[in-house]
Every structure is written in C-alpha cells, then in structure tokens.
Amino acid sequence: MEAPQYVAARVQQALAEDGRTHELGIRVDIRGDQLFLRGQVSGSEQRERLGQVAHETAPELHVHNEINVVEATEPGEDEHLD
Amino acid sequence: MSTLTDLRIAAVGDIHLGEDVRGQYRKKLVGIEERADVFMLAGDLTRHGTLEEGKLVADELRGLPIPVVTVLGNHDYHSDLEHEIADELRDAGVIVLNDDGVVIQCGEHKLGVVGGKGFGGGFAGKCASEFGEREIKNFVSHTRGIAESWKMALKEMEADQRVVLSHYSPIKETLEGEPHEIYPFLGSYLLAEAVDTAGADLILHGHAHKGSEKGMTPGGIRVRNVALPVLGRAYAVYCLTCAESPSHDEHQH
Ligand SMILES: [Fe+2]
Ligand SMILES: [Fe+2]
C-alpha cells in the first residue's frame, strides 16, 4: 500500500495543478482511510471543487472538506507609518 | 514652514478572482476614494491566468476614481498570457508595472512606485546561489535581474515618496505562518537588498497567503504582506506622512 504521505502529496499537487482549482495553500492530512482538507478560500464553489478534485485523486479515501470560506470584510483601520 | 499631510495607500494582493465571484470584489471598493489616494494590487489577480479571468479583473477595476497600480503574480503567469492580461488591465486604466516604475501625482505629492512580480530563491544564509546546474543558475539569475531592475528604477526616480510593489516577498518575517520548507519559493532577500540599497518608504507584497502582515527589511524599510487571506479585509490602508511639498526652488541640487 502507498504510504499516506505520498498520497497526501499527490492530492496536494492535484489541487494545485488541476485546472478547476489551482489552489496552492491547502493542507492535506490522511489518517487511515480518512482524508482532511484544511485552509481558506474565497468562495464556496472553490471549496466544493477542491473537495471534488481530492476525491477524484484519492477515490479510496473518505474526504472531510474542512476548508473555510473567508469573505473579505470592509476595510478596517488605517495604519500610519511614520 | 511645512505642514504634515498623509499619502494614503490602499493595498491588497491575491484577490484571485473568478467567474463565480464576479462583481463581488468591486462592491467592496465602493467609497475607496474617501479612504485612499491610490490603490495598489500586489499580483495574483486571477486563479489560472486565463484571458477570461484577466478580462474579469479588468472589469472589476475599471473606472475607479483613484489611480490603480498593479503587478502580476505567479497565478497570472500560469497560462503564458501575462502580456495579454496586462494589456486588458491597461485598457481598463490600470497601471501595470513590470520591473519598472511610475510617478503618480497625488494632490501635492509625487508618489513613485517601482515593482514587478519579483521571484523566489530564499533568504540570506538559506538561499539558492548561481552555481551548478543551468536550471538553478537560471532560477537565481532571474531574481537577480529583477532586483537589479528595481534598484535602477528606484535610483532614477524623482518622487517625494517611493513605494515598491511586488508579488513575492523580500523578507521572511512576513512569511511567518507558512511552512519554512517553502520559503525559497515565496521570496528572495535579493529584492530587499536592492531596495535597501536604493531606498524606499514602503514595500508591499502578496503571495504568502498564510504569512503575516508586518515586517521590516534589514535596512529598516517597512514591509507589508497584503495578501487578502492575511488581511482578512478588502484592502489595507497605509498612510505615509509627507512634509507639505516645498516649492521647487527650495530643492537642494
Ligand atoms: Fe496568491
Ligand atoms: Fe502567488
């Protein structure tokens, strides 16, 4: 059986290189037959696509998509540089 | 007698826009002219660097009431359409820097901006060097060439305030939060060295989505990582204090 580290690396590479996602900052962890995705993206569609690509890359694993969708809020306080 | 005024710079990087979020970022820019004098984007405007995404970003930035300056990021290069994307942005009135500089008149002040995508290589003591295989030498010399262009552009620039706009990071402090193993792909100290040599008031970069906002070069120039996931808000505003510009005959020659 392929070591989980290599499977995780393969999934992470797929998330970065697949034309549907191109997401570089997603953390992939594998525990037994469970695969966990963590990180932040800007939209829920992107989160779903990442889950889909991860599933296709490692169909034998159960994918837990724990990616957060972070919406940029209003600009906050100014910083004065002096 | 001179009074002090602020030059307000709105900045963000890594907005990574796509069709599914069309129009949403633009909404966040409403009223930006009341908060800032200029808007700067630190690259990674798109996800895959396609022409469609480039056009979408151009639409989102078109016709803002303040000057908009951008550089491209690695994602914007992914489809080998960086020139086409830059053209789309320029058609929308956006200033696109590609290892060169521009001087923008902001009220009384001349704001100089120098920048480009930047590149990686790592940080002093733990970096790649121009030695060995051709591929490694090309990697390092790419960054070295960029740093050299920025240094020249800064030295030639006549402006009251100078800001460097990059995608890759010049320092490792603003990468804090990223895995150390990938630091060489996130930036290069050669960029900081060049800017420290030529001088600037602020360096803005993106690219490190999990990094930290604030840092400083070895020469004491403030660095801000403005990647959207780092800021967690639509853009940050940095105020540079300027002396009310003296009339030209007061300049030293
Ligand atoms: Fe990015
Ligand atoms: Fe990037």
The 10s digit of each residue's pLDDT in B219-236 is 999 999 999 999 999 999
* CB-CB under 8 Å, B228 with A42: yes
A-chain residues within 8 Å CB-CB of B20? 43, 45-46
The total number of structural domains in chain B stands at 1
pLDDT (0 to 100) of residue A75? 80
Partners of B210 on chain A (C-beta within 8 Å) are 25
Range of the domain at B60: 3-245
Residue B169 lies in a domain: yes
* Contact yes or no for B204/B235 (Cβ under 8 A): no
Indicate whether this complex's ipTM tops 0.85.
no
In this predicted model, what pLDDT tens digit does every residue of B33-92 receive, in sequence order?
999 999 999 999 999 999 999 999 999 999 999 999 999 999 999 999 999 999 999 999
Span from the CA of B44 to the centroid of ligand 1 (angstroms): 5
Distance B210 CA to ligand 1 centre (A): 10
* 8 Å CB contact of B18 and A40: no
DSSP labels for chain B?
---EEEEEEEEEB---B-GGGTTHHHHHTTTHHHH-SEEEEES--BSS--HHHHHHHHHHHTT-SS-EEEE--HHHHTTS-HHHHHHHHHHTT-EE-SSEEEEEEETTEEEEEEEE-----EETTEE--S-SSHHHHHHHHHHHHHHHHHHHHHHH---SEEEEEESSBSSSGGGBTB-GGGGGGTBBHHHHHHHHHH--SEEEE---TTS-SEEE-TT--EEEE-BHHHH-BS-EEEEEEEEPPPPGGGS--
pTM for the model stands at 0.87
Return the number of other C-beta atoms located less than 10 Å from residue B177's C-beta: 12
pLDDT higher than 80, residue B244: no
Domain ranges of chain A: 4-69
Read off the pLDDT band of A70 (50, 70, 90).
confident
Q: In this structure, which CATH number among 2.40.340.10, 3.30.1340.30, 3.30.300.30, 3.40.50.720 belongs to the domain A4-69?
A: 3.30.1340.30
Q: How far apart are CA B159 and CA A74, in angstroms?
A: 31
- Asked if A73 has any chain B CB less than 8 Å from its own CB, the reply is yes
